[in-house]
Amino acid sequence: MKNLFYYTVFPGFLFTVTLGFLSSWLDRKVTARVQWRVGPPLLQPVYDVIKLLGKEIIIPQGAPKFLFLMLPLVGLASAILVSTMNWLSMLDAGSGFVGDWIVVIYLLAVPAIMLILGSFASANPLASVGGSREIKLLLGYELPFVMACLVPVIKAHSIKLGEIIAFQASSGILLSSVSGVAAFIIALLCIQAKLGLVPFDMAEAETEIMAGAYIEFSGAVLAVFKLTKFIMLVASPLFLVVLFMGSEIKSIVGFLFVLLKYILVVVLLVLIRNTNPRVKIDQAVRFFWGPITALAVTAIILAMIGL
């Protein structure tokens, strides 16, 4: 019962979605300011979701109906789970909740898998193209992402998130070491791609394939996808906070401190998004498998020799 509360209310669904709304607003506001616009009001993301809930749901002909409606829900469920795990690793470091470092990395990929399957299930050629780009992007960033996330494990000699945080409490945050900084930069870029933010938004690419993977989703189903996105906007940067500058939350000040770190990561993501044009899919994969992977190898070697 306690776990259900964790999952649905705090720090799970309700809390994370609220934070996700705020982060999304922050993203749009900063973007607007960078482009000399005013930007949306604070509650705009909420209005968007409510508007979508009122629209009708259209299912494309030839799509497997059950699957088409089910996949977004699975994506949402695992996004909430991974966000809850990240929060609990800092709130209640000893418990470990449902899983460790490996589980988080796997669960972080599930919403993307569900989006890809959903786009394939739409029986729409544009969605197929969008979905195929999303997989290739996943292949691209997953290699350096795993390598970057391995750096804290090498340093802390543990795959339990709680122990990684405890290690950082005793011998300084990861970000204070050379390998930590390198790994953080890599992981940040991978998160950028994971969240589908410019310059890695080729799976949606409104101007060429009209939202690609999302094209056939409408109404409440699209709203579920939006909610998943908001939650992932919290969960993925938070995983970086846990790995690279994690600290146990013991008081309200500690909590605010973690929030501040999280907002810092989000602002970095937004700034990257606003200063780069969209790249092509082959450029993105080349970028991740080439220079970024080379950097990741360097980071791992540095971590192994103790820097």
Partner 1 sequence: MMWRVDILSSYIAAFIGMFGVLVVIYSIGFMKGKPRLFWYFLYTFLTIITSIGTVFANNLVLLLIFWGFLGLLLYLLINFGDKNSNAVAKKTFIIVGGSDSLMILGIGIVYLLTGTFQMDKIRLEPSSLSVIAFICLIVAAFAKAGAMPFHTWIPDTAESAPSPVSALLPASLDKLLGIYLLFRISAEMFIMNEPMRQSLLIIGAVTILAAVMMALVQHNFKRLLGYHAVSQVGYMIIGISTGNPIGIAGGLFHMINNAIYKSCLFLIGGAVENKKGTSELDKLGGLSRVMPVTFFCAIIASLSISGVPPFNGFVSKWMIYQGLISQFTVHSSQFTVTKFVIIFCLIAAMFGSALTLASFLKLLHAVFLGQRSYRSTVNRQPSTKIDEVNSLMWLPMVVLALLCIIFGIFTNQLPLKYFILPSVKDAAFIGIWNSHLATLLIIAGILLGFVILLLGNLSKSLRLDNSYVGTEIIPSENRPSGAEFYNTIKEFGILKGIYNKAEEGFFDIYEQGKRFVFFISGILGHLHNGVLPTYLVWCLLGMMGVLYSLLLK
Report the C-alpha gap between 2 and 148 in whole angstroms.
Answer: 33
Q: Which is nearer to partner 1, 32 or 146 (CB)?
A: 146
Minimal distance, residue 130 CB to partner 1, in Å:
10
In this chain, which of 26, 46, 110, 185 binds partner 1, going by CB under 8 A? Answer: 110
Is the Cα dihedral 49, 208, 217, 238 positive or negative? negative
**Do 134 and 115 meet the contact criterion of CB atoms below 8 Å apart?**
yes
Minimal distance, residue 277 CB to partner 1, in Å:
19
For the chain, the C-alpha Rg in angstroms (whole number) is 19
Site stretch for partner 1 (CB under 8 A), options 103-111, 195-203, 236-244, 259-267? 103-111
Minimal distance, residue 177 CB to partner 1, in Å:
14
Give SS3 for 161. Answer: helix
Q: Which is nearer to partner 1, 115 or 238 (CB)?
A: 115
279 lies in the binding site for partner 1 (CB under 8 A)? no
**DSSP string of 185-226?**
HHHHHHHHHHTT-TTS-TTT-HHHHTTGGGTT--HHHHHHHH
In this chain, which of 113, 185, 267, 272 binds partner 1, going by CB under 8 A? Answer: 113
Q: Is the bond preceding 11 in cis, omega lying within 30 degrees of 0?
A: yes
At 97, which helix (H) or strand (E)? none
Tell which residue, 132, 98, 103, has the closest CA to residue 115: 132
In this chain, which of 30, 107, 190, 245 binds partner 1, going by CB under 8 A? Answer: 107
Minimal distance, residue 257 CB to partner 1, in Å:
26
At 38, which helix (H) or strand (E)? none
**Do 132 and 230 meet the contact criterion of CB atoms below 8 Å apart?**
no
Report the C-alpha gap between 240 and 172 in whole angstroms.
Answer: 15
286 lies in the binding site for partner 1 (CB under 8 A)? yes
In this chain, which of 20, 45, 111, 131 binds partner 1, going by CB under 8 A? Answer: 131
In this chain, which of 30, 90, 216, 233 binds partner 1, going by CB under 8 A? Answer: 216
In this chain, which of 1, 35, 36, 62 binds partner 1, going by CB under 8 A? Answer: 62
306 lies in the binding site for partner 1 (CB under 8 A)? yes
Report the C-alpha gap between 174 and 306 in whole angstroms.
Answer: 12
In this chain, which of 35, 38, 54, 277 binds partner 1, going by CB under 8 A? Answer: 54
121 lies in the binding site for partner 1 (CB under 8 A)? yes
Minimal distance, residue 63 CB to partner 1, in Å:
8
Q: Which of residues 63-102 bind partner 1 (CB under 8 A)?
A: 63-64, 67, 69-70, 72-74, 76-78, 80-81, 84, 96-102
60 lies in the binding site for partner 1 (CB under 8 A)? yes
Tell which residue, 270, 265, 271, has the closest CA to residue 241: 265
In this chain, which of 30, 52, 189, 203 binds partner 1, going by CB under 8 A? Answer: 52
CA atoms within 13 A on the CB side of 269: 30
In this chain, which of 26, 166, 185, 210 binds partner 1, going by CB under 8 A? Answer: 210
178 lies in the binding site for partner 1 (CB under 8 A)? no
9 lies in the binding site for partner 1 (CB under 8 A)? no
Q: End-to-end distance of the chain based on CA atoms, in angstroms?
A: 44
